[in-house]
Chains A and B, each alone.
Chain A
Amino acid sequence: MTPPRRVFVTGLGVICAGAGNVAKLRDLLRTQKRWFGRPTVFPTAGESATLPVAQVSGFEVADTLPRTHRLALQAAREALGAGSAPDAIVLGTTTGGILTTEFALQAGITAPDAYRFHGLDTVAEHLAQSLGVRGPVITLSTACSSAAVAMSVAAALIRSGQARRVLAGGADSLCRLTFHGFRQLQLIDPRGSTPLDAERAGMTVGEGAGFLLLESAPNPDAIVAEIFGAGMSCDAYHATSPHPEGVGAVLAIRRALQDAGLDSSAIDYVNLHGTGTEDNDAAESRAIKQVFAGTLPALSSTKGLTGHALAAAGAIEAVISIIAITDGLLPANTGLQTVDERLKLQPVREPTRARVRTVLSNSFGFGGNNACLVLGEARPETTTIENETTQATATSLSPLRVAAAACFTARGALPQTWEALISGESAAGFVPDAAFSKAVPNAFVRRLKRLPRLMLALAQTALQASGRTSPPALLATGTAWGPLAETQDFLRKLFETGDQFSSPMDFIGSVHNAPAGQVALLLGAQGPNWTCSSGDRSFEQALLCVSLAMAAGADSALVMAAEAHEARLSPLFDPAAATGPLASDGGAALMLVPDDGTPGARVRWLGESGDADSASSAAMALLGQIAGPGYDAVAVSVPAGISAASEIVRLTQMLRPCPVFTYRDRLGQHASVSATATALAAHAVIEGTLPFGPTSIPLPRKRVLLLLLGTHATAVEVFA
């Protein structure tokens, strides 16, 4: 067996408060000048006007393209340099276009066009269009660990041979939702954050973007550094507070070291998550002392300098970690006066020259989502980089066995949905509350709204149906729009009180990975925990994340995707899906295990292909990769508002006599309906009939291809 491909860093790009590029960030790390001040990208009044943020200068809100998108593009272009388009983009973001959306909502704008860049996926999509990327464009949203998670997924794409050059990073802009959310949680330090300090009183919300260009087989002269490993975990402890003993952080750090094949003694410097909040710094210090028992490496948090750029933080800090390696510089813990004695750490106080070969970079987020990266000086065996000819072409990922499937549609759970479809009825519409409201005890869900309740019910139903009593090793969720009711309620209350008050609970619930954090909490799932938010292909990307990790040895995974209709926001964000007779919500969950030969349904992620110009050629390019007869049916998801009639005709001609049909007219229009179709297909290949075509389709070969058309095409096969 050939060793896994190595992941080299060949380009860096960054933007944060005080530094518009990598050269300026180098200067900033030496001068340590903090660029904290009042926010000017949104209005503030009263107490909130006195709280500092770490705002990037320039990039005022444009009419159309939101600030996050513009920050991301600048840093992405710097990382890419003069190089050609990468094979794939993996981006972490939590804000997407929310800053622009906030202004539009407050102004009462009801034209959906004003919200077309709201979706988290539109940031990476804008990059893909601008840079000409034709492969997978993946968006992850795991709160403050988003960028580190994105880089770990990018590394997995390269190691598995799915891509050779990947642009990976994170981007977030300041906005009212996060600023007032953290303010209402009493987590903003009025004097500017001073991580690890005895007087620390919280974070400074920042913004920016960071990218690494990752390559498996670069020109040796282009190599800047190497990603040795990555580790993820979930605390499964609390929606926002870290486990007080840093249990999840310890797991993530150890997994990253194990993935890198390194002992903790190999780490020369730790770039801490170090937000400056009481709880984070206390928990992280305990985790560090536990992992590095005895001799601690040099360590610091750089958030006292850059602010906490949320989903961009892990990427900005990866760039800082690489500067530490290339420049031989230990970055200082800016802003520190008196170390908190209780932490028993001695952070780097001044920028210090030192040989830095290997760095651990920590990122922890709401939902208990932890991600750690081990970055280092490219190892000397660099000269043996595989060249173009020896490098195997992309191998397909292994199928996974479906141990159980669950879904919720307007008809109820999977058995009711199946019966309705078999009887020729439609499953379109909104899920009735009664279908999922009893699955989890009220004491657990009392503060939760529709999306987390749907997700919890899906997870519980799938886990129970699988007969499994222990939590899944991996958990991946997809959601295009995230918790909309929480977002709407938070902003409504904020605007009603003149930007003074809103609900901390709604803020916590509004982050896209909040439902996944709740599922982890319910199941006690401490493994990696991904939330993909990639529009209509969020489910497929969640499936990709677990497929990559299962290839590396995990024994079980829960994959799910869902949407929850919200009366005001859904029609603005996804108008074609949220209005009309096919307007729907719901979703599905699959319990997956390695293909052990046991009879049952299998599911396999086959590919994602994008094309800036044409959905048609994206679909054709993808079919070219996966071509092969043997399917009984090809079920196609065509998102509302996309015209795909000519593609369907072409697919029908190409694949004749295999029936090709669209299914959203039967299963409903919502962004996660492909998860529902996949769950139903897993049942169908066992039953021998597929009930969501124009008529019931017999499945003698027990093999169905599920395609999604749109700006990108994705393909998943289900067989038995």
Chain B
Amino acid sequence: MSEQTDTLVTELSRKLVEILGLDMTADAVDPAAPLIGAGLGIDSIDTLELVVMIEKDYGVKIDTRAAGVEALASLNALAAYIRQRRPASFP
């Protein structure tokens, strides 16, 4: 796992906890665990909130259910999804 991925996962973890008001610290989120429908209690509204954040902060759109399933499988999966698609204008 590259250092860059770690940094992005850490950043996403912090945003996840902050934006969704989760009652836990950022480093307590397991980066390999499913984001939706598991222990975090994340629902469809949270998902949309994350989708908007990902497009705004990283320039990556998630506009189909299939894309959502792939991108939000876990924090690691989300970081990989963003890294593959991030436009040059979003360093």
Mark A residues whose CB is within 8 Å of B. 184-186, 238-241, 442-443, 446-447, 497, 500-505, 508
B70 at the interface (CB under 8 A from A): no
Contact of B52 among A443, A446, A502 (CB under 8 A): A502
Please, which residues of chain A bring their CB within 8 A of the CB of B51?
A: 186
Contact of A239 among B20, B45, B52 (CB under 8 A): B45
A-B pairs with the 6 shortest C-beta distances?
A446-B21, A504-B48, A501-B56, A442-B23, A505-B49, A447-B21
Q: Tell me which of A186, A442, A443 has the highest count of chain B C-beta atoms within 10 A of its own C-beta.
A: A186
A118→B48 CA distance, assembly (Å): 29
Contact assessment for A443 and B56 in the assembled complex, using a CB-CB cutoff below 8 Å = no
Mark B residues whose CB is within 8 Å of A. 20-23, 41, 43-46, 48-49, 51-52, 55-56, 63
Contact assessment for A501 and B20 in the assembled complex, using a CB-CB cutoff below 8 Å = no
Q: Tell me which of B22, B43, B51, B52 has the highest count of chain A C-beta atoms within 10 A of its own C-beta.
A: B52
Contact assessment for B55 and A501 in the assembled complex, using a CB-CB cutoff below 8 Å = yes
CB-nearest residue of chain B relative to A509? B45
A239→B43 CA distance, assembly (Å): 11
Contact assessment for A446 and B63 in the assembled complex, using a CB-CB cutoff below 8 Å = no
Given that A184-B52, A186-B63, A500-B56 are contacting pairs, would A505 and B45 also be in contact in the complex, using a CB cutoff of 8 Å?
Answer: yes
Contact assessment for B48 and A497 in the assembled complex, using a CB-CB cutoff below 8 Å = no
Please, which residues of chain B bring their CB within 8 A of the CB of A503?
A: 49, 52
Please, which residues of chain A bring their CB within 8 A of the CB of B41?
A: 443
Contact of A446 among B20, B48, B56 (CB under 8 A): B20
A41→B51 CA distance, assembly (Å): 28
A238→B45 CA distance, assembly (Å): 10
Contact assessment for B48 and A185 in the assembled complex, using a CB-CB cutoff below 8 Å = yes
Please, which residues of chain A bring their CB within 8 A of the CB of B44?
A: 241
Given that A501-B56, A504-B52 are contacting pairs, would A443 and B23 also be in contact in the complex, using a CB cutoff of 8 Å?
Answer: yes
Please, which residues of chain B bring their CB within 8 A of the CB of A446?
A: 20-23
A239→B45 CA distance, assembly (Å): 9
Please, which residues of chain B bring their CB within 8 A of the CB of A504?
A: 45, 48-49, 52
A99→B45 CA distance, assembly (Å): 25
Please, which residues of chain A bring their CB within 8 A of the CB of B22?
A: 446
Please, which residues of chain B bring their CB within 8 A of the CB of A185?
A: 48
A497→B56 CA distance, assembly (Å): 8
Please list 23 pairs of residues, one from A and one from B, whose beta carbons are closer than 8 Å in the complex, sorted by A's number.
Answer: A186-B48, A186-B63, A238-B43, A241-B44, A442-B21, A442-B23, A443-B23, A446-B20, A446-B21, A446-B22, A446-B23, A447-B20, A447-B46, A497-B56, A501-B52, A503-B49, A503-B52, A504-B48, A504-B49, A504-B52, A505-B46, A505-B48, A508-B45
A504→B51 CA distance, assembly (Å): 10
Q: Tell me which of A238, A446, A502 has the highest count of chain B C-beta atoms within 10 A of its own C-beta.
A: A446
Please, which residues of chain A bring their CB within 8 A of the CB of B56?
A: 497, 500-501
Contact of A447 among B45, B52, B55 (CB under 8 A): B45
A185→B49 CA distance, assembly (Å): 9
In the assembled complex, the CB of A281 is this many whole angstroms from the nearest CB of chain B, namely: 16
A508→B44 CA distance, assembly (Å): 12
CB-nearest residue of chain A relative to B63? A186
Please, which residues of chain B bring their CB within 8 A of the CB of A184?
A: 48, 52
In the assembled complex, the CB of B51 is this many whole angstroms from the nearest CB of chain A, namely: 8
Q: Tell me which of A239, A442, A447 has the highest count of chain B C-beta atoms within 10 A of its own C-beta.
A: A447
A443→B39 CA distance, assembly (Å): 12
Please, which residues of chain A bring their CB within 8 A of the CB of B45?
A: 239-240, 447, 504-505, 508
